[in-house]
């Protein structure tokens, strides 16, 4: 089981470092956004997920959006992540890769499934105060998250 988990983790790391294609076939640029990496973007940081499609997540989840153009989700049973690109209020998430560990805690596996399905539909974002809203293409809130304090 540990070997399978290690292989899955290596596959996730390799997939995240490659620039995967967006679902519409367009390759995401190596540049994460229209903002240089050294300029902090309001999306960058850690966000504690409060709601996924209007319901509390099955387990505590954190979305980390990094300046290097990658995002990761932690807190469920499996690690999940990929690359992203920002253009105005548009947020292009490449299809997420996930480790495939079996987890004895059903709530953690359910949280993985909830966040994965919602992330696949994200097309826009909005930030109001310390709250991030990840929206579908029509503006419907898919994920609501609260900014976490920065740690040194």
Query: pLDDT of 30-50, one tens digit each?
Result: 444 444 444 589 999 999 999
- Residues with Cβ < 8 Å from 58, sequence gap 6 or more? 107, 108, 110, 111, 114
Burial 67-103 (b: 16+ CB within 10 A, else e): bebbbbbebbbbbbbbbbbbeeeebbbbebbbbebee
CA dist 90 and 137 (Å) reads: 9
What's the pLDDT at 41?
92
How far are the Cα atoms of 37, 53, 120, 146 from residue 135, in angstroms, in the given order? Answer: 24, 10, 11, 15
pTM of the model: 0.73
Q: Judge residue 3's burial from the number of C-beta atoms within 10 Å of its C-beta, 0-12 exposed, 13-18 middle, 19 or more buried.
A: exposed
What's the pLDDT at 152?
55
Q: What percentage of the chain has pLDDT greater than the value 90? A: 61
């Amino acid at each position: 089981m540990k070997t399978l988990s290690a292989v899955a983790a290596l596959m996730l790391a390799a997939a995240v470092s490659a620039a995967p294609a967006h679902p519409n076939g367009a390759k995401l640029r190596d540049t994460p956004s229209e903002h240089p990496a050294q300029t902090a973007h309001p999306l960058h940081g850690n966000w504690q997920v409060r709601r996924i499609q209007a319901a509390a997540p099955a387990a505590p989840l954190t979305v980390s959006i990094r300046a290097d153009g990658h995002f990761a989700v932690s807190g469920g049973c499996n690690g999940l992540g990929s690359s992203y690109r920002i253009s105005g209020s548009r947020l292009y998430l490449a299809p997420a890769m996930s480790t495939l560990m079996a987890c004895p805690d059903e709530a953690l596996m359910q949280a993985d499934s909830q966040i994965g399905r919602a992330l696949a539909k994200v097309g826009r974002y909005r930030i109001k105060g310390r709250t991030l809203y990840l929206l579908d293409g029509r503006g419907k809130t898919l994920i609501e998250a609260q900014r976490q304090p920065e740690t040194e």
